[in-house]
Chain A
């Protein structure tokens, strides 16, 4: 941003409005100038506030956070907490490598961080200083301090009260000093005032923690309200759930794909897009990409109208919500199985093939298909007959396909009309992603006569055990040596008489509905 961005930041301009006496003639104009400049700072903050209020009129321009140019944070010594050591702090068993400290049983290790509560909803600030203009102390976020907005705390690597650049002010109760305070100034502080929820999310009854992803999700959802159900708004919502962005402009050309850093970066002629470093781009350098397009495999939408099995989809489950009277439904897998032909079942040839599911569900499924086929005058065997429909005589094994791909059969004959598949790889979520905890939003965004099969994948945590070799103290193996541990003598307590024994069973129903 250009400086000065407005007249409040321009002390000469502020002075000018006071007339030539104060700007040119008056000998002591230094103080006047500094007062005017300081006063301008106050009004500059109001200017920011006003700009935010105006931007909040638009869901597209709404700021995620409130910005304070200089946020005053007062730390009280009485509120200082030493954070206990946690996993990942670098503490080792025995003597500590840096401090040489040897923890004793019952004692505690020196805390590495100092935690102070915040009264303001401070989310981020790059810099904390002891003074505004010429600080003798500047602490950097991530290095000298961190902010925990969830617990409303600022965490320092060193004790601020031990720093000579910060002069504590003593708090008196009568003549007695009861506390000490230090003031720090956080530069360009982001404060979470729930702008997005109170101004936008409230209207559509979607709550979320303030973030760019939340804003993107709200905009995607409201797009689907205002325009109606579109592929673009759905894909924007999916992207927001993963914390990534879809293509922003009507047309962009991919110029760079790089995953050498902390993120996978896809740069186009107009924008740069960040993804999880393990994500896989679905575009190549030179490709033209279009507004709303997803650029990686982290989220993908597959329409089934061609009848083909989408890449990477290995099975689909048809659950009880799509088949009344079934326990879990049946699963159609992307594999080749043999057809089973039974002749003269209720006077008609019955055909079936392998499905995954509870045996009673699978059996019921094929019984229902056959019975309904008879009732409606066209059995599945007749429809599958290689001689065409209607077959000249009752089908036999010789006139029916010998193998079938259940998933391909399902998609080609049933799902291709009104269903589509969405795949989300949750392990590719970026920090700040909205997540899929409100995935029922998609239900509200899509036409009710269509169905969405949501396939989520995540990181598989592997803990392999090599069974070909024996285990040791740290690794499990094919055989383990056992040692015994002499436990305490159990306390015996006898209960006699059935009056003292009872059994209680409690049933709990856990369910929920998407509306």
Chain B
């Protein structure tokens, strides 16, 4: 459970990827209204950074008509069938990281909390199974390992 006091002094965003817990591996629900239990949740801190990263990673470059530099080519490469192997995946991801880093850092301010500032990301594991691939990505904030994980809270903004 998270403490609402941890949100003080921080900016928040709506949570687009709903999860039961903030720690551990679990499948998120891609819904703004969640599953009926975790509806209308807001997020901040490292999870907000993770959400920003996810949005950048999953947005195809040029697809936001008036923000054409946002996003990266990762999904485009994936959809075009350009990823046939683990190496292809690493190459595409590494290439995407350049764009993601540029975009995330460009919108960050010096005054932002360190755990909301993007530093780097890396693939820690990739698993292939018929019809799907799972990519495990580690996102590092400027805060490094010293961060407080602030869980989403059910609240209104």
Q: Which residues of A does B touch, CB under 8 Å?
A: 26-28, 31, 167, 169, 171-172, 174
Closest residue of chain B to A167 (Cβ to Cβ) is B109
Q: Are A28 and B156 in contact (CB under 8 A)?
A: yes
Q: Are B111 and A167 in contact (CB under 8 A)?
A: yes
Taking CB atoms, residues of chain A closer than 8 Å to B157 are: 28, 31
Q: Are B156 and A26 in contact (CB under 8 A)?
A: yes
- Given contacts A28-B156, A172-B105, list 7 more A-B pairs with CB under 8 A: A27-B156, A28-B155, A28-B157, A31-B156, A167-B110, A172-B102, A174-B102
Residue B1 interfacial (CB < 8 Å): no
Taking CB atoms, residues of chain B closer than 8 Å to A169 are: 109
Taking CB atoms, residues of chain A closer than 8 Å to B155 are: 28
Residue B37 interfacial (CB < 8 Å): no
Closest residue of chain B to A168 (Cβ to Cβ) is B110
17 sampled A-B residue pairs with Cβ under 8 A: A26-B156, A27-B156, A28-B155, A28-B156, A28-B157, A31-B156, A31-B157, A167-B109, A167-B110, A167-B111, A169-B109, A171-B106, A172-B102, A172-B105, A172-B106, A174-B98, A174-B102
Taking CB atoms, residues of chain A closer than 8 Å to B109 are: 167, 169
Q: Which residues of B does A touch, CB under 8 Å?
A: 98, 102, 105-106, 109-111, 155-157
Distance of A171 from chain B, by nearest CB (Å): 8
Instruction: Identify whether the interface residues of A are mostly helix, strand, loop, or mixed.
Output: loop
Bound CA–CA A28/B111 (angstroms)? 26
Distance of A131 from chain B, by nearest CB (Å): 14
Bound CA–CA A169/B106 (angstroms)? 8
Taking CB atoms, residues of chain A closer than 8 Å to B111 are: 167
The 6 closest A-B pairs by CB, nearest first: A28-B156, A31-B157, A27-B156, A28-B157, A172-B105, A172-B106
Bound CA–CA A169/B109 (angstroms)? 7
Distance of B117 from chain A, by nearest CB (Å): 13
Taking CB atoms, residues of chain A closer than 8 Å to B106 are: 171-172
Distance of A165 from chain B, by nearest CB (Å): 13
Taking CB atoms, residues of chain B closer than 8 Å to A171 are: 106
Closest residue of chain B to A26 (Cβ to Cβ) is B156
Bound CA–CA A65/B33 (angstroms)? 47
Closest residue of chain B to A31 (Cβ to Cβ) is B157
Distance of B119 from chain A, by nearest CB (Å): 12
Taking CB atoms, residues of chain B closer than 8 Å to A26 are: 156
Taking CB atoms, residues of chain B closer than 8 Å to A167 are: 109-111
Taking CB atoms, residues of chain B closer than 8 Å to A28 are: 155-157
Distance of B77 from chain A, by nearest CB (Å): 21
Closest residue of chain A to B111 (Cβ to Cβ) is A167
Bound CA–CA A26/B155 (angstroms)? 12
Closest residue of chain A to B106 (Cβ to Cβ) is A172
Distance of A167 from chain B, by nearest CB (Å): 7
Bound CA–CA A171/B102 (angstroms)? 10
Closest residue of chain B to A169 (Cβ to Cβ) is B109
Distance of A24 from chain B, by nearest CB (Å): 15
Closest residue of chain B to A27 (Cβ to Cβ) is B156
Bound CA–CA A86/B134 (angstroms)? 67
Taking CB atoms, residues of chain B closer than 8 Å to A27 are: 156
Closest residue of chain A to B105 (Cβ to Cβ) is A172
Taking CB atoms, residues of chain B closer than 8 Å to A172 are: 102, 105-106
Closest residue of chain B to A29 (Cβ to Cβ) is B156
Bound CA–CA A21/B62 (angstroms)? 38
Closest residue of chain A to B155 (Cβ to Cβ) is A28
Taking CB atoms, residues of chain A closer than 8 Å to B110 are: 167
Bound CA–CA A124/B157 (angstroms)? 39
Bound CA–CA A171/B155 (angstroms)? 36
Closest residue of chain A to B98 (Cβ to Cβ) is A174
Bound CA–CA A294/B98 (angstroms)? 70
Distance of B41 from chain A, by nearest CB (Å): 13
Taking CB atoms, residues of chain B closer than 8 Å to A31 are: 156-157
Taking CB atoms, residues of chain B closer than 8 Å to A174 are: 98, 102
Taking CB atoms, residues of chain A closer than 8 Å to B102 are: 172, 174
Bound CA–CA A167/B109 (angstroms)? 9
Distance of B16 from chain A, by nearest CB (Å): 17
Distance of A452 from chain B, by nearest CB (Å): 56
Distance of B44 from chain A, by nearest CB (Å): 15
Bound CA–CA A28/B155 (angstroms)? 9
Closest residue of chain A to B109 (Cβ to Cβ) is A167
Taking CB atoms, residues of chain A closer than 8 Å to B98 are: 174
Bound CA–CA A495/B39 (angstroms)? 100
Bound CA–CA A8/B106 (angstroms)? 33
Bound CA–CA A26/B98 (angstroms)? 42
Bound CA–CA A172/B107 (angstroms)? 11
